[in-house]
Amino acid sequence: MDISVIVPLFNEEESLPHLTKWIKEVMDREGFSYEVLLVDDGSNDGSWKVVEALSQENNSIKGIKFRRNYGKSAALNVGFEHCEGDVVITMDADLQDSPEEIPELYSMIMKDGFDLVSGWKKKRYDSKLAKNIPSKLFNATTRKITGIKLHDFNCGLKAYRKDVVKSIEVYGEMHRYIPVIAKWSGFRNIGEKVVQHRKREFGKSKFGMSRFINGYLDLMSIMFVSKFSKKPMHFFGLWGTVMFLLGFLSAGILGAQKIIASINQLPMRLVTDSPYFHLSLVLMILGAMFFLTGFLGELIGRNSSSRNTYLIHKKSNIN
């Protein structure tokens, strides 16, 4: 099969017939063999009835329904598990992504050799104050931290080589960072394509301003996990040791000052009356806690079933 199109959806009953018809027109025109996976993320309108009707009309359309709303990342992850196409296209269900972009995205994966191609909605029709400006700040920060030169990490229109989606796991709200997850998994040939952004015709946006706050928290989380998930002691042990040594050194200086004052019979208040004593104590306690956290992380990691799961790129003369 040439292409799998994964469409996560939540309360999009009006747009689904138009979207699937458009996808079919593009696929038939280009001669692609394809499937469309409509993943219903717990919709409470008539979306699932529409999905069932569409799947009966067209065998290439398949539906998956969640019992409740789990989020876009969960919908994409399930779609990745069930897709079969050599190239996987993800797009939103609200008709703001154009299926006309599919042929060129497919070509960039199969002919140009990209592992992942992310869409860039260079010209947007969203409110500048509510979405455009925060989005630009968010993308600039992500580019700086991750080193991936993309302009629109959160664009729903992306294309993947099949190996990529079968090798990564998307959870929480990490759909914004699939390029980062892919790079972390060894897929470094990441491209970008300017795509059309269309005005929403039906319904309303499901994302609010909170996504930008959550986005930064998720970015910190994924960067930490990517660097230290296999070696927690390298982070917690290092900072634990630094804090403990600083606290111990501060306490030693206070003790030395007290001894010198006693020898020279100089007046000096009790060590425990000094705020530096309590600061030293806190640093040593925190240092010990950090070190123990790293130690426990290592024990958990060594007993984890996924610890020695590695992505193999090629094999030679191995049965």
Report the CATH number at residue 208.
3.90.550.10
Among 179, 196, 228, where does a domain finish?
228
User: Structural domain tally of the chain?
Assistant: 2
pTM: 0.74
Which residue in the block uniquely carries the two structure tokens 């501060």? 250
Residue 319 pLDDT greater than 60, yes or no: no
User: What is the separation, in whole angstroms, between the first and last Cα of the chain?
Assistant: 26
Range of the domain at 276: 232-302
Q: How confident is the model at residue 138 (pLDDT cuts 50, 70, 90)?
A: confident
Q: Kindly state whether residues 253 and 171 are assigned to the same domain.
A: no
* Any domain includes 318: no
Gap between the Cα atoms of 246 and 291, Å rounded: 14
* Any domain includes 115: yes
* Any domain includes 316: no
> What average pLDDT does the segment 207-224 reach?
65
* Any domain includes 200: yes
Which amino acid is present at 244?
F
Q: Kindly state whether residues 71 and 112 are assigned to the same domain.
A: yes
> Which pLDDT score, from 0 to 100, does residue 55 have?
94
Instruction: Please name which of 75, 58, 85 lies closest in space to residue 9, comparing C-alpha atoms.
Output: 75
Which amino acid is present at 69?
N
Residue 81 pLDDT greater than 80, yes or no: yes
Instruction: Give helix then strand counts, H and E, for the chain.
Output: 10, 7
* Any domain includes 22: yes
User: What is the per-residue pLDDT across 105-125, written as a single tens digit (0 to 9) for each?
Assistant: 999 999 999 999 999 988 776
Q: Kindly state whether residues 26 and 118 are assigned to the same domain.
A: yes
**Which token pair is 156?**
């729903």
Residue 316 pLDDT greater than 70, yes or no: no
Q: Is 140 or 270 the better-scoring residue by pLDDT?
A: 140
Instruction: Please name which of 241, 251, 228 lies closest in space to residue 287, comparing C-alpha atoms.
Output: 241
Q: Kindly state whether residues 259 and 213 are assigned to the same domain.
A: no
